[in-house]
């Protein structure tokens, strides 16, 4: 056999074996780059674990065709002004209980119904995910729009609800959030609350406030959660009032510990607000001058049911 032919074949085989791994490596590198690009452009999920933080709504909506059932319980003040040990530090006095059903029509739209013990309020709510943060940074923020309407069904001891419209109140929010890492999420909430009836004639029917909330992950399944609202109200800032019984108002604050246990999310919380609805805790949170006296123990349980 021609030696040149054998040498040529051997050389070709050597080149094939030399370049084949390089080409395979190049193909593998391209594939990994394409997969990385796809991952980088995905939506950021689980900015918060549930649709609420403590008092505040979170940026999250309920998943498509899923029913979220939530129970929240707010007790009385833990301090001596609330009874102290005589009321088991507030456990004997429930200030509010909220039962809520929220349903995900699709991944962006959630609707819900709720009932609060405070003034026997019935609430309808809607949330819409306007924008979702992405992993590639092209969309750096998540934005969810929220609105609710409440009807106070209690039998009033006076004529304050003689006009049926006086029983109605409303809230709208833009919830703007960012998940900075797997362990830190923050959000801000420009908020408008309207009440058709106010108890003090120099109080405002319309209130503007800005809230902020966050979640700091401490273990795989638990996190510290917090929220705060600052209300802009001349009536609440002024120490002078035309009404003789004006209370001292305070910004609603909350701090808690959240635990995910399978299909449940359980939270143990403390807050100075007595109510659980935006149209209640934003305008009506008061103080006796000592934040520890004002704090109330609270808990919530959220359970998802795929339908």
Please report the pLDDT score of residue 23 as a whole number.
41
Kindly state whether residues 118 and 31 are assigned to the same domain. Answer: no
Torsion angle of the four alpha carbons 164, 166, 168, 171, in this order, in degrees rounded to the nearest 10: 160
Please report the pLDDT score of residue 38 as a whole number.
46
Kindly state whether residues 138 and 165 are assigned to the same domain. Answer: yes
Kindly state whether residues 253 and 144 are assigned to the same domain. Answer: yes
Per the listing, tokens 């908020």 go with 191
Kindly state whether residues 76 and 208 are assigned to the same domain. Answer: yes
Ramachandran category for residue 139: left, alpha or beta (phi over 0 → left; psi -120 to 50 → alpha): beta
Kindly state whether residues 242 and 99 are assigned to the same domain. Answer: yes
Instruction: Note down the domain range covering 33.
Output: 1-40
Kindly state whether residues 31 and 59 are assigned to the same domain. Answer: no
Please report the pLDDT score of residue 243 as a whole number.
60
Local structure of 195: helix, strand or coil: strand
Kindly state whether residues 281 and 194 are assigned to the same domain. Answer: yes
Find the DSSP H helices in 41-168. none
Please report the pLDDT score of residue 126 as a whole number.
98
Please report the pLDDT score of residue 207 as a whole number.
97
**What is the H or E stretch that residue 21 is in?**
helix 3-40
Please report the pLDDT score of residue 241 as a whole number.
62
Kindly state whether residues 118 and 261 are assigned to the same domain. Answer: yes
Kindly state whether residues 128 and 250 are assigned to the same domain. Answer: yes
In eight-state DSSP terms, residue 84 is G
Number of domains comprising the chain: 2
CATH number at residue 150: 2.40.160.40
Per DSSP bridges, beta strands 94-104 and 296-306 are unpaired
Instruction: Walk along the chain (307 residues) in steps of 10 and give the mean pLDDT of each run.
Output: 47 42 47 52 93 97 97 91 82 93 97 96 97 94 98 82 90 98 97 93 94 97 97 86 76 96 91 96 90 91 94
Please report the pLDDT score of residue 257 as a whole number.
97
In eight-state DSSP terms, residue 89 is T
Kindly state whether residues 32 and 68 are assigned to the same domain. Answer: no
Kindly state whether residues 73 and 176 are assigned to the same domain. Answer: yes
Select from 205, 228, 201 the least CA-distant residue to 285.
228
Kindly state whether residues 9 and 128 are assigned to the same domain. Answer: no
């Amino acid at each position: 056999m021609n030696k040149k032919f054998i040498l040529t074949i051997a050389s070709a085989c050597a080149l094939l074996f030399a370049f084949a791994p390089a080409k395979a490596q190049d193909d593998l590198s391209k594939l990994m780059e394409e997969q990385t690009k796809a991952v980088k452009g995905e939506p950021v999920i689980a900015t918060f674990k549930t649709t609420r933080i403590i008092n505040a709504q979170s940026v999250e909506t309920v998943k498509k065709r899923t029913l979220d059932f939530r129970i929240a319980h707010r007790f009385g003040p833990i301090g001596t002004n609330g009874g102290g040990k005589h009321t088991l530090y507030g456990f004997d006095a429930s200030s509010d209980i909220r039962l809520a059903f929220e349903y995900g029509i699709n991944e962006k739209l959630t609707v819900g119904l709720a009932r609060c013990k405070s003034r026997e309020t019935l609430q309808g709510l809607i949330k819409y995910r306007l924008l979702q943060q992405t992993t590639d940074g092209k969309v750096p923020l998540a934005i969810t729009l929220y609105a609710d309407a409440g009807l106070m069904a209690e039998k009033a001891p006076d004529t304050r609800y003689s006009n049926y419209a006086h029983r109605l109140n409303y809230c709208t929010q833009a919830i703007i959030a960012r998940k900075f890492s797997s362990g830190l999420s923050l959000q801000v909430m420009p908020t408008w609350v309207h009440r058709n009836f106010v108890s003090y004639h120099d109080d405002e029917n319309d209130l503007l406030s800005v809230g902020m909330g966050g979640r700091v992950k401490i273990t795989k399944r638990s996190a510290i959660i917090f929220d705060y609202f600052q209300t802009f109200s001349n009536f609440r800032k002024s120490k002078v009032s035309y009404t003789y019984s004006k209370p001292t108002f305070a910004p609603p604050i909350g701090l808690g510990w959240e635990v995910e246990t399978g299909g449940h999310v359980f939270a143990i919380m403390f807050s100075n607000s007595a109510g659980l609805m935006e149209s209640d805790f934003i305008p009506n949170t008061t103080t006796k001058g000592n934040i520890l006296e004002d704090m109330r123990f609270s808990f919530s349980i959220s359970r998802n049911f795929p339908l």
